[in-house]
Amino acid sequence: MNRTSALGLLGLSEPIRAQDVQAAFRQRVKRAHPDLNGTDAPLRRLILARDLLMRQLRNGPDISEIIEELSDPAEPLRLSVETAVTGGGIVTDVPLPLELIHDAGPGRSLMHRKTLRITLPAGLRDGERLRLKAARPGGTEHVFRIEIERREDLHAEGHDLCLTVPVEARRLRLGGQVRVETPHGPQTVDLSDAVDNRLTLKGLGLPATARYPAGDLHLRFEAFETPMRPASDLLAEFHRKWA
């Protein structure tokens, strides 16, 4: 947004005074309220236009000045991998602009927060947009950008999941079955099927949705050494069992 577009948005023409900007803003701000438009974008643009013009009235007009508008109005919604897999209810706070108008002076732009309780579908992908429709006609609609948390042992890659599983080094060398806790629940896998300590479980990544296919679960087995127990501990345990 530049000076020309700010003037047009507020319905003003040169020359302008501070009281002209404030009066034009007050005339339009109520019609731009999020509850009337289903989004806070019109109110945000009005605030940007007013703030740009007021600043230039203080510092001198600058037709080359540009204020970048918010290109992605979606609020980040951070989910655990488990929630992305199974869906379910979460509670989150979202910011909303609140314009305080005073007849005797300039308005102040503040942000307040609103608590939302959301029921999420299973199979959300990282970066996906989730649109939450207003609960009542004329209410505010919210758009969220999904962010799936990345843990050291577990993260999402596209449709797939990657899980690091610690396994005792001796057990990893000998092979055999182990029980692995996954976002889909416990799974029994055979270490003998692993290649370079890696194993893929088909269809156990992020679940299929109307837009996306089911992903896979990629397991990486990480060996750890079991510390040797002192001989005195082994002898004491022997006596306890056979005393």
CATH number at residue 22: 1.10.287
Domain of 87, in residue numbers: 75-148
The answer on pLDDT for 42 being more than 90 is no
Q: Following CA atoms 230, 231, 235, 236 in sequence, which dihedral angle do they give, to the nearest 10 degrees?
A: -20
The answer on pLDDT for 39 being more than 70 is no
The answer on pLDDT for 99 being more than 50 is no
212-239 average pLDDT score: 80
Q: Give the pLDDT confidence score for residue 92 in this predicted structure.
A: 84
Residues 79 and 133 in one domain: yes
94-111 average pLDDT score: 49
220-236 average pLDDT score: 75
- Domain contains 66: no
- Domain contains 65: no
Residues 98 and 138 in one domain: yes
The answer on pLDDT for 51 being more than 80 is yes
Residues 86 and 55 in one domain: no
Total domains present in the chain: 3
Residues 45 and 10 in one domain: yes
The answer on pLDDT for 236 being more than 80 is no
What CATH number did the domain enclosing 158 receive?
Answer: 2.60.260.20
- pLDDT averaged over the chain? 82
Residues 43 and 99 in one domain: no
Q: Give the pLDDT confidence score for residue 105 in this predicted structure.
A: 47
In this prediction the pTM is 0.61
Q: Give the pLDDT confidence score for residue 184 in this predicted structure.
A: 95
Residues 136 and 112 in one domain: yes
Residue scoring higher pLDDT (92 or 122): 122
Q: At which of 32, 59, 86 does a domain end?
A: 59
- Domain contains 229: no
Q: Long-range contacts made by residues 61-65, C-beta under 8 angstroms, separation at least 24?
A: 61/3, 62/3, 63/2, 63/3, 63/4, 64/2, 65/2, 65/3
Which sign, positive or negative, has the C-alpha torsion 62, 63, 65, 71?
positive
- Domain contains 232: no
- Domain contains 114: yes
Q: Give the pLDDT confidence score for residue 206 in this predicted structure.
A: 97
Summarize pLDDT for 54-81 with one digit per residue, the tens: 888 888 877 677 766 555 567 789 999 9
175-183 average pLDDT score: 95
- Domain contains 68: no
Residues 27 and 84 in one domain: no
> Which residues lie below 8 Å from residue 120, measured CB to CB, with a gap of 6+?
79, 83, 87, 88, 89, 90, 130
Residues 142 and 79 in one domain: yes
- Domain contains 79: yes
Q: Give the pLDDT confidence score for residue 154 in this predicted structure.
A: 97
Residues 82 and 50 in one domain: no
Residues 36 and 88 in one domain: no
Residues 183 and 215 in one domain: yes
Residues 142 and 162 in one domain: no
- Domain contains 174: yes
* Burial status of residue 225 (CB atoms within 10 A of its CB: 0-12, 13-18, 19 or more): exposed
